Amino acid sequence: MLQKKWWHEKTAYQIYPKSFCDSNGDGIGDLKGIISKLDYLKELGVDIIWLSPIYCSPLADQGYDISDYYNIDPRFGTMDDMDELLKEAKARNMYIIMDLVVNHCSDEHQWFQKACGDPEGEFGKYFYIETVKDGKLPNNWRSYFGGSVWEKLPGHEDKYYMHVFHKKQPDLNWENPKLRHEVYKMINWWLEKGVAGFRIDAIMNIKKPNIFTTYPADREDGLASIENMIRDAVGIDEFLHEMKMETFEKYNAFTVGEVFTDRPDALKAFIGNDGHFSTMFDFSETCAGKNEDGWYKCQPVVCGDEYKACAFGTQKRLGDLGFISNIIENHDEPRGVSHYIPAEDLNDTSKKMLAAVNIMLRGLPFIYQGQELGMTNVDFTSIDQIDDCSTQDEYKVALKAGLSADEAFHAVLPFSRDNARTPFHWNDSANAGFTSAAPWLMVNPNYVQINAKDQVGRQNSVFSWYKELISLRKNPEYKETIVYGEVIPYKAEQKNLMAYYRKGTDKTLLVAANYQNKAQDLKLPGTFKQVLMNNLDTLDLDGSTLHMPGYQVVILEL
């Protein structure tokens, strides 16, 4: 049986601070900007806010490279601003969770600086540093952002350090109890301060197998995918259990893990009743259509039956084991509407359909900033407009594979992390009302059509639809059913129809979506009491057959 938790009935929202709201006119979003928009989030129905990293950072990986865990980067504000944010959130019954990035820190963190000064000393042991003879690196693992995971230790000709992400993100050595203790101390410091918990970054990487393992090369660069490392690492559960007991457990903190793993026991181990985290993201839709050779070979759009199979697959595996977190996008992924709906079908109706089928699943909904407006991918016109290090690397991979510059650019573009990182669209004035200066990353030109000012308060807007979905989830009459009711697929074999029951103790709902642009008929299981939501103005019912135009979605109370 699933143990009920305070956060199960909440709705969460991810803020990417750099692109949310700039209060001081430097082209970069900040904490004061976030504070000024708390009422907007409250109006939407948000309870839990996840902040992507705001700690001191050289921003080589946009804050996921932390140089001081105890301070706020001046670009985002001050610790006083942070305290004010916590206070203002609390006054609105909202919870703030931080991003916990502890697989690595920044090469500008004092730990790493000290390690460079004395690799054999105390801080050298916080990292993976090896002496290399005759240029032979300890292993041939390829970092996530391209190239070897080994980089020369500054100031030393024969020493290298390991980084599974960017070379400015040296991996922390979790085998060292002293390092682990420092991490727990920092976590508790933030929990004492009043954050409600953490989103836990890249956590599967903290455990390494024998670092002298060479895998068969899988590309011409002679390197092997880092996935080999994740697969072969044994013993991560001990670390995670220890971290939980030393920190989160003592504060009843909420934690959501970024867990990418094929482990068959993952759901139980990570989010079961005694699991390491409160919840973790469901990445099954995210991973669909991916290809190990690189983004240029991935499938740009995943929709209809494919999307349905992923979502139902997770729900089936999960059962009552735990509570998953559902997303359609985040700061590492393209915009959900652009990834799960074919470009030619993209409109408010199809966007609302995607929102409904996702938010009505069992689990904690996480909305990524701008998703509630139906923000889309960006028509970047040149690779020079892209800041994201990952896109730059994948572009090179595509070129190496023989694509022309133009082909390579267009092949990687649908997956660029910058699609979701452009500034938030507050209104239709210059720079979408995000900043009075030049924004750090270009604004999507479609802000003139898609923006908050136009949508808040407009009855048929995507924003109003999200607001209605969230309020249905909170409605005392339906809450039990939507939060805890079973997900039972309905007519799962009917093509491009995504329909499921939510069966609670005293109510049954049916969510039914025509996930294609062509009309189709749906035979209903019987009569229904009322239509709770419908993304079209009409309902074409003929006996118990529902004629559904393309992308219609309805939520019926049976």
Residues engaged in binding ligand GLC (CB under 6 A) = 61, 64, 101, 165, 201-202, 258, 331-332
**Two tokens, residue 291:** 């290809």
- Entry field: residues in the chain: 558
Eight-state DSSP code of residue 420: G
Order the strands of the 553-557 sheet from edge to edge. Answer: 486-489, 497-503, 508-514, 553-557, 530-534
Contact between 141 and 164 (Cβ < 8 Å): yes
Smallest CA-to-CA distance from 180 within 110, 256, 125 is with 125
CB contact set of 411 (below 8 Å; sequence gap of 6+): 295, 296, 398, 403
Beta strand spans in 159-275 (E): 159-162, 197-200, 254-257
The residue (of 56 and 202) whose beta carbon lies closer to ligand GLC is 202
Q: Of all helices (H) and strands (E), which one includes residue 555?
A: strand 553-557
In the set 99, 107, 201, 285, the catalytic residue is: 201
Q: Rounded to the nearest whole angstrom, what is the least distance from the CB of residue 474 to ligand GLC in the complex?
A: 28
- As beta bridge partners, residue 153 has none
Tell me if residue 258 is catalytic: yes
DSSP 102-135: -SB--TTSHHHHHHHH-TTSGGGGGB-EEE-STT
Cα–Cα distance, 484 to 320 (Å, whole number): 9
Smallest CA-to-CA distance from 378 within 391, 396, 365, 359 is with 391
Eight-state DSSP code of residue 170: P
The residue (of 333 and 468) whose beta carbon lies closer to ligand GLC is 333
Q: Rounded to the nearest whole angstrom, what is the least distance from the CB of residue 12 to ligand GLC in the complex?
A: 15
The residue (of 120 and 292) whose beta carbon lies closer to ligand GLC is 292
Work out the burial of residue 458: count CB atoms within 10 Å of its CB; fewer than 13 is exposed, 13-18 middle, 19 or more buried: exposed
The residue (of 389 and 408) whose beta carbon lies closer to ligand GLC is 389
Cα–Cα distance, 113 to 121 (Å, whole number): 12
The residue (of 257 and 414) whose beta carbon lies closer to ligand GLC is 257
The residue (of 22 and 201) whose beta carbon lies closer to ligand GLC is 201
Whole-angstrom CA distances from 164 to 25, 100, 389 are 35, 17, 14
The residue (of 101 and 532) whose beta carbon lies closer to ligand GLC is 101
- As beta bridge partners, residue 367 has 13
In the set 81, 258, 282, 394, the catalytic residue is: 258
Smallest CA-to-CA distance from 100 within 190, 22, 23, 19 is with 190
The residue (of 64 and 76) whose beta carbon lies closer to ligand GLC is 64
Cα–Cα distance, 172 to 471 (Å, whole number): 42
Q: Rounded to the nearest whole angstrom, what is the least distance from the CB of residue 171 to ligand GLC in the complex?
A: 11
Q: Rounded to the nearest whole angstrom, what is the least distance from the CB of residue 63 to ligand GLC in the complex?
A: 9
Contact between 535 and 349 (Cβ < 8 Å): yes
The residue (of 128 and 426) whose beta carbon lies closer to ligand GLC is 128
Contact between 94 and 53 (Cβ < 8 Å): no
Q: Of all helices (H) and strands (E), which one includes residue 508?
A: strand 508-514
Q: Rounded to the nearest whole angstrom, what is the least distance from the CB of residue 101 to ligand GLC in the complex?
A: 5
Q: Write down the residue that tokens 């938790």 correspond to.
A: 5
Residue number of the CB closest to ligand GLC reads: 64
Catalytic residue annotation = 201, 258
